[in-house]
Amino acid sequence: MQNKIKIFDICGTLYHSNTTVDFCVWMEPNAAKKILLKVSTSLIGRAFNKLTGKLFRYDFIRDLHIRTLKNKDLEFIENKANSFVELVLEEKKIKQIHKIMKEHNTDDIILASASIEPVVKAIAKKLNIKNYHASSLLHNGVVYNGKLGNDLSGKKHHLFSNQDIDLVVTDNLDDYKLCLLSNKFVIVSKTKHLKIWKSRDLSKMIQLVEV
Task: Report pLDDT digits (tens) over 5-54.
Answer: 999 999 999 999 999 999 999 999 999 999 999 999 999 998 988 898 88
Please give the average per-residue pLDDT across 59-85, as a whole number.
Answer: 97
Above pLDDT 90, what percent of the chain?
A: 91
Report residue 57's pLDDT band, with 50, 70 and 90 as the boundaries: confident
- Return the domain boundaries, the chain: 5-210
pLDDT band of 119, cuts 50, 70, 90: very high
Query: For the segment 130-158, what is each residue's pLDDT rounded down to a tens digit?
Result: 999 999 999 999 999 999 999 999 999 99
Distance CA 131, CA 146 (A): 25
Q: How far apart are CA 11 and CA 114, in angstroms?
A: 9
pLDDT band at 1 (very low <50, low <70, confident <90, very high): very low
- Considering the chain, what is the average pLDDT of its residues? 95
Percent of the chain at pLDDT exceeding 70: 99
Task: Quick: pLDDT tens for 156-176.
Answer: 999 998 899 999 999 999 999
User: Residue 57: helix, strand or coil by DSSP?
Assistant: coil
| 116 CB-side CA count, 13 A | 28
Q: How confident is the model at residue 2 (pLDDT cuts 50, 70, 90)?
A: low
pTM of the model: 0.95
Say which CATH superfamily domain 5-210 falls into.
HAD superfamily/HAD-like (3.40.50.1000)
- Report the alpha-carbon distance of residue 192 to residue 82 in Å, rounded: 32
Handedness of CA 24, 26, 32, 37 (dihedral sign): positive
End-to-end C-alpha distance for the chain, whole angstroms? 36
CA distances to 41, 42, 61, 207 from 45, rounded to whole Å, are: 5, 5, 8, 33
Give the CA-trace dihedral at 51, 159, 131, 189, to 10 degrees.
40
Answer for the pair 211, 194: CB distance below 8 angstroms, yes or no: no
Asked if 66 contacts 116 with a C-beta cutoff of 8 angstroms, the reply is: yes
Is residue 21 helix, strand or coil?
A: helix
